Structure 1
Amino acid sequence: MTNPRGRSIGTSGDDTVVAVYDNYQDAQNALQALAADGIARTDMQLQPETESTGTSSDAATTSSESGGEGGIRGFFRSLFGGDEHDEHRHIYQESVRRGSYILTIDIRDESEADRVVSTLNRFHPVDIDERVSHWRRQGWAGYDESAPRYTAEDIARERSTYASNRATAAPAEQARIPVIEEELKVGRREVQRGGIRIIKRIREIPVSESVQLRDEHIHVGRQAVDRPAGQAEFKEASFEVRETDEEAVVSKTARVVEEVVIGKEVEQRTERIDDTVRRTDVEVENLAGGGMSSGRDDAEFRRHWQSTYGTSGGRYEDYDAAYRYGTTAAGSDRYRNHQWSEVEPQLRSDWEANHPGSAWEKVKDAVRYGTERVTGRRGH
């Protein structure tokens, strides 16, 4: 079981994220934001379920609910289980007694937990560890079921005291300097590189075929005959002879004569991405009153300059920045616990980048002496 401010409570089964809010509307807004993000409403519970007004009726309700296994007492019993989690149960019960609201969300995996915690933190949850520390400083020894619920005046007075104590405990002056480091992430995306479009149209093609057709024609002719007529022929009769013609009959049959096959080939290729990322380094330099280095260090640096560079001409002021650069580098993480030979290439690169008019070989001994002055060791 976790909450947005870092308290961890081990339980069996699915985990539960617990958040405490002093403001009922903040708790409602957090619940609605989680529902909009896909968290099932049945996985979330808010206690108390309605906004409390800090009146005597609220106190009576809380007292009656605490007497049985239902209500708020039953809610915390089901949430925290057995007696091994009494401390955590009492803390959250005390939060409700003092006018706060408890929002719990059942989560199924770490990714869902991170998403839920991120949403909860948007609506100003209480830092429960810090709040409990405040109670203990005020004499709170543990949850008392017989203690009455805070009234509106009690709630306002306690939160005013808590805010005042936090302001008093905060340092008078505090500066925060962020150390920023870029991270290179290379992903993939699909881009359109062209392709083909297939269009199927129907067109008519003139064709011609030849077919032999037969036509019948009736011819009637008369010719002279002289012969005796038989009895059978001497009767009335009727005859029909019909002409027939052939005509062309056209039918069409569609047949598939060709297929156009469309496919894609996929090739894997590796592309190397070369880029740069930026990081801010914060170096701390001790400043003595009236100068860039203490008088003692300055005297030591001048003696070293006299013995090392004095015979070659020039001024001490030409090397003062190199001595101070060495003392600053000695106190940074890049130099600490490393020998001179290991860090010299990086120091040289930084010096030449920031002092283009000063050759490294000229000031190298001054930088090294500055580092050794701080660390008290001679590197190799």
Structure 2
Amino acid sequence: MSTYEKIVTLFDTADHAQAAETNLQHAGFHDDEISIVSGKDLPTSDTALREPGLWHRLFGGDIEQHEATVYAKAVESGGVVLTLRAAKEDVPKAMAILNQHNLVDVKDRAVDTGVISKESAATIAAPAAAAVAAAAALPARPVTSDLGKDQVLRLAEEHLEVGKRLVEQGTTRIRRFITEKPVEENVTLHEEHAEVVRRAVSDPNYVKDIDWSDSTIEVLETAEEAVVSKSSRIAEEVVVGKTGSDHVETVHDTVRRQQVEVERVPANKK
């Protein structure tokens, strides 16, 4: 049966917390196990926000005064607290995701804002540091069953989380404009003009038809000329749209995994 741990993290902005929540969900952590607490969910009193008891009731565990003060200041300036209930074996995986989203280091923030001094911060870290130093000073020896309980060595591994984002790759511009080109067309034009022909008359019978009165003959002359007109029609149409396509891209990276090596060391015989 799995045991569960509650992870409490602080972010300066809701955007960072929401991005972390999205990646946690993609990694398989259930929505019901994730909670985001902002200033609107908490008392408006500055004194109440700086009380460790408030944060203890929200998250459980021991909350120091400097931690409560850092939480309060961050929330007052728009920060949020994200909590995650995760199975014990999934904690390294969850922390690997959360650490990618600008987590606030509460102790460092307390020092930077003057809530505690560097000396006090060193005191807070002293027990852990002393334990590490003491462990390093002990000689290496095989683990024996007379310790009274099992010794657990945790092995961590990294998982590659590949997401997607939309990037601009340029713009296609379609512009309509006018061009001109010379054209020519042949057309046949007809003209009519008066033609005057003078010819001699020798027939004596025309004598009796002599008319001595003045007379005028008018002949209308015509000529065709080219008349140019233009008509318009739609020659073609250009349809502008977008088409999508998918492709598979292989992302190459490296992930780390801790391995364990078992070496049997025989006891020294005297």
TM-score normalised by L of structure 1: 0.26
Structure (1 or 2) with the greater strand fraction: 2
Higher relative CO (CA 8 A, sep ≥ 6), structure 1 or 2? 2
TM-score (norm 2): 0.35
